[in-house]
Amino acid sequence: MANISSTTLFIVILLLCVSAAVAATAKLQSPAANICKSLVETQGYICQEHKVTTKDGYVLGVQRIPMGRSANKTANNKPPVLLQHGLLLDAATWLLGSPDEALGFILADHGFDVWLSNTRGTASSRGHAWLNPQDPEYWEWSWDELAEYELPALFEYVYHQTGQKLHYVGHSLGTLNAFVALSKGKLVNMLRSAAMLTPVAYLGQMTSPACRSIAELFLSEKLYSLGVREFILKGQDVAKLLQFVCLKAEINCSDTFTVITGPNCCIKKSTVDSFLGNEPQSTATKNVIHLSQMIRRGTLTKYDYGNVYENVKSYGHITPPAYNVKSIPKDVPLLLSYGGKDSLTVVNDVKILLEDLRDHKADKLVLQYRDDYAHFDFIVGYNANKLVYDPLIAFFMLH
């Protein structure tokens, strides 16, 4: 990567700040998202809106598709499955495309009781018991809190609503949250099995030029120091910013998806248009800082505050403690699905994860590798229904 001057870096940060402010203002002026009405009911499915409150006060919007289009009109005894999206996305991730292509609909039509979660800060999950998104404190979280508070709250809610253990599907950041929670003994008693699409536990060998540039230039840290707590970029602002960064860093930005995620092989243009119409969603700048730390260091630890005092205050140590994926119970049924063209969840980082799981029971760990798939092919690829979701459903049926 070419050296970038302090003036150029300042301009990049300024563009990020302006873009964030404009996008946040637009979001404040727009009506609350209603995924059920806009994406589910229009396809002929019953859909319910639920609210889940975490122990740290965040109010999450959750959509439920209790049955398929031609199913018996009851959700009784249908196995529940919780779908958790990745970074800068929301539950719409699982609903883009036709009912024969989108995983949320496919699972419902195969007899599952489908629950779709939305991470704090996204359009459906901007509530809080005592804060609002305009409060800087609202955005003081990273994926540490998602694993500690958010995913357990979602599991407990679905478990108590259905009276059954859950299947789980995570994508990208949604796998990281699950790995960390499971390593701490959470979720296990409520889990049937987990399918991890583009599994993330390590990011040190990430090859995405855009994301590695953000990490190595400490862009998110600079934003945080300027008081930007909500990390959000919408529509054309994303393309303009990436073009600017890539030009200065000598990165080929002719394809936004490719420069971020790798060359996705199997996404329709209509799906890309729908995707960009809904995404990206907000996250916390602190969350991006935490991920940037993972990229630079190749480690899996709690958030590093960057100074001894804060680390000792939070952890009792001068450095943040590490998470231990080896602590995941060895009899938890896991399916890991990853791709050879993915520049975010790269094969070499997955190999480190697999080394951590080397003592997992052989009949409880299923691996699926697609040489031609990149990061988004797993969730919006036109042929993922056959190549990824059919094996995923067969895996669930065994458990």
Model confidence over 367-392: pLDDT tens digits? 999 999 999 999 999 999 999 999 99
Name the pLDDT band for 268 (thresholds 50, 70, 90). confident
Structure tokens, 130: 């005592």
Task: Tell whether the model's pLDDT for residue 235 goes beyond 60.
Answer: no
Quick check: helix, strand or coil at residue 338?
A: strand
Name the pLDDT band for 185 (thresholds 50, 70, 90). very high
For 367, other C-beta atoms within 10 Å of its C-beta total 13
Instruction: Tell me how far CA of residue 339 lies from CA of 91, 268, 296, 344, 397, in angstroms.
Output: 22, 18, 22, 10, 23
What was the pLDDT predicted at 237? 47
Name the pLDDT band for 260 (thresholds 50, 70, 90). confident
As a whole number, the mean pLDDT across the chain is: 88
Is residue 342 among the annotated active site residues? yes
DSSP alpha helices (H): ranges in the chain?
6-29, 35, 103-109, 143-145, 151-162, 173-183, 209-216, 219-225, 236-248, 256-261, 269-278, 285-297, 308-315, 347-356, 377-380, 384, 390-397
Is residue 110 among the annotated active site residues? no
Rounded average pLDDT over 152-165: 98
Give the containing element (helix H, strand E) for 319: none
Environment class of 56 (CB within 10 Å of its CB; exposed 0-12, middle 13-18, buried 19+): middle
Q: Could you give the percent of the chain with pLDDT greater than 70?
A: 84
Residue 172 and residue 148 in contact, taking contact as beta carbons nearer than 8 Å:
no
Instruction: Tell me how far CA of residue 55 lies from CA of 58, 156, 168, 201, 313, in angstroms.
Output: 8, 12, 21, 25, 21
The rounded distance, in Å, linking the Cα atoms of 328 and 180 is 8
> Which residue in 90, 113, 342, 356 is the catalytic one?
342
Name the pLDDT band for 75 (thresholds 50, 70, 90). low
Q: What pTM, to 2 d.p., does this model score?
A: 0.91
How far from chain centre, in Å, is Cα 134? 23
Instruction: Tell me how far CA of residue 238 lies from CA of 88, 148, 261, in angstroms.
Output: 12, 30, 14
Is residue 6 among the annotated active site residues? no
What was the pLDDT predicted at 234? 59
Higher confidence at residue 27 or residue 64?
A: 64
Q: Could you give the percent of the chain with pLDDT greater than 90?
A: 73
> Which residue in 110, 171, 290, 375 is the catalytic one?
375
The rounded distance, in Å, linking the Cα atoms of 112 and 167 is 9
Rounded average pLDDT over 133-155: 98
Residue 349 and residue 328 in contact, taking contact as beta carbons nearer than 8 Å:
no
Rounded average pLDDT over 216-244: 74
Residue 33 and residue 124 in contact, taking contact as beta carbons nearer than 8 Å:
yes
pLDDT digit string (tens) for 112-136?
Answer: 999 999 999 999 999 999 999 999 9
Task: Tell whether the model's pLDDT for residue 1 goes beyond 80.
Answer: no
The rounded distance, in Å, linking the Cα atoms of 168 and 114 is 10
The rounded distance, in Å, linking the Cα atoms of 121 and 133 is 7
Report the 3 state secondary structure along 97-161: CCCCCCHHHHHHHCCCEEEEECCCCCCCCCEECCCCCCCHHHHCCCHHHHHHHHHHHHHHHHHHH
Residue 154 and residue 82 in contact, taking contact as beta carbons nearer than 8 Å:
yes
Higher confidence at residue 278 or residue 172?
A: 172
What was the pLDDT predicted at 269? 82
Quick check: helix, strand or coil at residue 35?
A: helix
Name the pLDDT band for 180 (thresholds 50, 70, 90). very high
Rounded average pLDDT over 72-97: 88
Give the containing element (helix H, strand E) for 53: strand 48-53
What was the pLDDT predicted at 241? 57
Find the range with the poorest average confidence among 69-78, 85-94, 245-254: 245-254
Nearest Cα residue to 283 out of 151, 138, 176: 138
Structure tokens, 160: 């108590």
Rounded average pLDDT over 343-370: 97
What was the pLDDT predicted at 287? 97
The DSSP bridge partners found for residue 62 are 50, 117
What was the pLDDT predicted at 33? 61
How many CA atoms lie less than 13 Å away from 334 in the CB half-sphere? Answer: 27
> Which residue in 172, 213, 220, 292 is the catalytic one?
172
